[in-house]
Structure 1
Amino acid sequence: MVPFDPRAEAFLADPYPTFARLRAQAPVHDHPLLGMPVAVSHAACSQVLRGRELGRIWADAEPADAFTAFNLLHRNSLLEQEGPSHARLRGMVAGAFNRGHTARLAPWVSELADRLVRELAAAIDGDGSADLMATVAAPLPVEVIGELLGVEEPARSLLRGWSNAIVTMYEPDPGEARRAAAEQAAQEFVAELREFAAHRARQPGDDLVSDLVAAELDPDELVGTAALLLMAGHEATVNVVGNGVLALLTHRDQWERLLADPGLDARCVEELIRFDAPLQLFERTATVDTEVAGYPVPAGTKIAALLGAAARDPEAVDRPDELDVGRHPNAHLGFGAGVHYCLGAPLARLEVAATLAALRTHLPDLVLAGPTQRRPDFVMRGLRELRVGRG
């Protein structure tokens, strides 16, 4: 029996009742459609993410000669490394990332969020409603990643399209057209980043790529790192902002609570990540015969942590189906756990908090202005359109 169909419209609209049913039955379930067991309890998901006998073991997309750029980006990504190679690469990237980039970008991010929300407000005032996804949620993180990396126009405007195309390969059945588009986007990204890294080797700047070049990253590792930052940073923030604003506007008491107490911003960011997780699935592979919550996982077997299911586990979260912008502590796994905990988490938190502050300032009377359109994807859970107006 298949626990759920990740392509079903009703499931994509609201997977959380299904997750609750599965948690009540067992912490881990076989999933023939996904081709791997899935962990649904918080404890089991945490074990998948933290277990030393589980790792990221990259297998090239096939046929390999049709996905040379896509495979290059992932084979050399920090996310796909384990053991000494992971420790070496993570240390180099963390060293570069921690050279004050988040602090450097903080005022710029706040100004960017403020400008985009003012544009949203103007569009609402002019037309009665506007799409928050197109005006704020989508452009903000790609601008931030572009600024972090140092990528300028015209390439910066291409980053969002490249990211959107590449991440479709993570879905259970992307189809041939999207697979081809992902490889084309990967090829263009690799070519652009190689050229930009060569430029930064000659003329260093105050950006992350310059720091990675100075750290003498292998050229393939550099483009793999840049791709990971783009895809993880862009997709996560787009979906947290979209899913989060939708959650706040459909739980009006929590939006009013946030308006009355801006000091809740930091806790609200964590709650929005937990309540409707932007990344629903993270997979690892058993390096030896092991178990997860008593479920046997033989060596070489993939197993997935369903992060959205973990976030609604009543064993880990009090009143998990309620949105509580003041929730503390908050045991979500939205940024991962263990050795693969997200290096960009502080920057993502900064972006979401800046967006909330700008919305509170310029659109305290924000309301939904039409039905939402959800993306037809399971792994990357987000909205295609979120029309909003003034109440």
Structure 2
Amino acid sequence: MDAAPFAPWSPAFVADPYPAYAQLRARGRVHWFEPTRQWLVPHHADVSALLRDRRLGRTYLHRFTHEEFGRTPPPAAHEPFHTLNDHGLLDLEAPDHTRIRRLVTKAFTPRTVQALEPAVRRLAAGLVAELVKEGGGDLLADVAEPLPVAVIAEMLGIPEADRGLLRPWSAEICGMYELNPPEETAARAVRASLEFSAYLRELIAQRRKEPGNDLISALIAAHEEDGGRLSEQEMVSTCVLLLNAGHEATVNTTANGWWTLFRHPARLAALRADPGLLSTAVEELMRYDTPLQLFERWVLDDIELDGTVIPRGSEVALLFGSANRDPARFERPDELDLARADNPHISFGAGIHYCLGAPLARIELAASFGELLRQAPTMRVVGEPEWGAGFVIRGLRGLRVEL
């Protein structure tokens, strides 16, 4: 089946991809998209199953060379980005993924995350109080962005004076996750990769001399206890991934979620009247307007989907946004139901690459939404926001509000 409705570089599609997803689901279970040479998979059951299928992988280099897999190696000029990216959990497969995730999990325990909750609430309360004091502002820049960046920076032990560097570095690196990124995007990502890596190597060296009560020190300790089984490059890549993955989705869930609520005033009024809805509301906002719309996998061994053989060497694009609106899995999927109890959305992924930071993201989202509901009960949107150019990591450029 062809993927005619799918137009990821169209501003109209990025603003509302959901009608096109409905067409894709109606047309079949798998679609060839020539511009990126990928197989698009739009149904919830298939996306969920393929995320867990070990015949697919985030990388193929643990089994094949580029040439053996029928792929062209990335340009040499992009090497700093790929070195950084390819040593992170998100783009590794077993046995390296298993080893690194085990070590990171030692330093990123449920107890560690839970212990952060009071600090997250204090940060959220302070950011919202400042927004209220100013009578409004840009919800994206003033609350959605600074909260998760501050939290992950605090976890990593990054000095407060340096934290302004993090979001720009992250944004430039994440530009490479879009479909067919242009060369200027790659050049910015390479520069950010070099700068961020150099910064972290220096910080790791400091923590080796003077360990602190932070995640970098804990990763060094885990590395040394296990006889050097976590390389410095793996530590650098892990820290960058924790920052990038640890705030991009949270930022967009916050801003996209509030824009959704403003467009559903009756639902927003119900949430303001009953803050007990908050936990299911956060899950529903992640489902209804998914922050990460697409996740890619390489086909390591031939698979068959609905009679279509997808051969080894192919790439599949799992459409999270479409899966989260699939009527075969969700009752009234295009309706915003803040009390939705049966909500197996896949916004955090599934399988071995399920988001390690999901519990922390939920704490941050509950804190920021909760404080805005409490401190800014009359908050309203000013004008209609613009969507950013990105489709894979899909979010608003800003969200102006007033009280």
TM-score (norm 2): 0.93
The one-letter amino acid paired with 1:116 is L
Aligned to 2:69: none
Aligned to 2:106: 95
Query: What is the CA distance between 1:83 and its match in structure 2?
Result: 2.0
The one-letter amino acid paired with 1:89 is I
| 2:30 corresponds to 1:28 | yes
Query: What is the CA distance between 1:62 and its match in structure 2?
Result: 6.0
Aligned to 2:227: none
Identity %, equivalent residues: 47
CA offsets 1:286-345 (integer angstroms, 9 cap, x no match): 111112344321112110110000000001111111111111121100000011100000
**Does structure 2 conserve the Cα–Cα contact (< 8 Å) formed by 1:93 and 1:212?**
yes
Question: Residue 289 of structure 1 is aligned with which of 289, 293, 302?
Answer: 302
Q: Alignment partner of 2:33: what SS?
A: coil
| 2:293 corresponds to 1:280 | yes
The whole-number CA distance in structure 2 between the counterparts of 1:133 and 1:219 is 34
Query: What is the CA distance between 1:154 and its match in structure 2?
Result: 3.0
Query: What is the CA distance between 1:365 and its match in structure 2?
Result: 1.1
Q: After alignment, is 59-68 or 302-311 more displaced?
A: 59-68
| 2:71 corresponds to 1:71 | no
Query: What is the CA distance between 1:101 and its match in structure 2?
Result: 2.3
Aligned to 2:374: 361
CA offsets 1:256-276 (integer angstroms, 9 cap, x no match): 111122222111111111010
Q: Alignment partner of 2:397: what SS?
A: strand
**Does structure 2 conserve the Cα–Cα contact (< 8 Å) formed by 1:28 and 1:44?**
no
Aligned to 2:16: 14
Query: What is the CA distance between 1:93 and its match in structure 2?
Result: 1.0
The whole-number CA distance in structure 2 between the counterparts of 1:180 and 1:84 is 31
The whole-number CA distance in structure 2 between the counterparts of 1:302 and 1:317 is 27
Q: After alignment, is 351-360 or 82-91 more displaced?
A: 82-91
Q: Alignment partner of 2:122: what SS?
A: helix
**Does structure 2 conserve the Cα–Cα contact (< 8 Å) formed by 1:141 and 1:237?**
yes
The whole-number CA distance in structure 1 between the counterparts of 2:158 and 2:190 is 21
Q: CA, structure 1 residues 68+35, in 2 after alignment: closer, same or farther (shift >3 Å)?
A: same
The whole-number CA distance in structure 1 between the counterparts of 2:73 and 2:120 is 39
Q: CA RMSD in A?
A: 1.5
Aligned to 2:396: 383
Q: After alignment, is 90-99 or 313-322 more displaced?
A: 90-99
The whole-number CA distance in structure 2 between the counterparts of 1:145 and 1:293 is 42
Aligned to 2:50: 48
The whole-number CA distance in structure 2 between the counterparts of 1:279 and 1:122 is 32
Q: CA, structure 1 residues 139+58, in 2 after alignment: closer, same or farther (shift >3 Å)?
A: farther
TM-score (norm 1): 0.95
**Does structure 2 conserve the Cα–Cα contact (< 8 Å) formed by 1:101 and 1:208?**
no
Q: Alignment partner of 1:47: what SS?
A: helix
| 2:215 corresponds to 1:208 | yes
The whole-number CA distance in structure 2 between the counterparts of 1:269 and 1:207 is 28
| Structure 1 segment 88-237 matched on structure 2, within 5 A | 88-98=99-109, 100-124=111-135, 129-216=136-223, 217-237=230-250
The whole-number CA distance in structure 2 between the counterparts of 1:248 and 1:32 is 36
The one-letter amino acid paired with 1:91 is R
The whole-number CA distance in structure 2 between the counterparts of 1:149 and 1:186 is 17
**Unpaired segments ≥5 residues, structure 2:** 67-71, 224-229
Query: What is the CA distance between 1:367 and its match in structure 2?
Result: 1.2
Query: What is the CA distance between 1:155 and its match in structure 2?
Result: 2.3
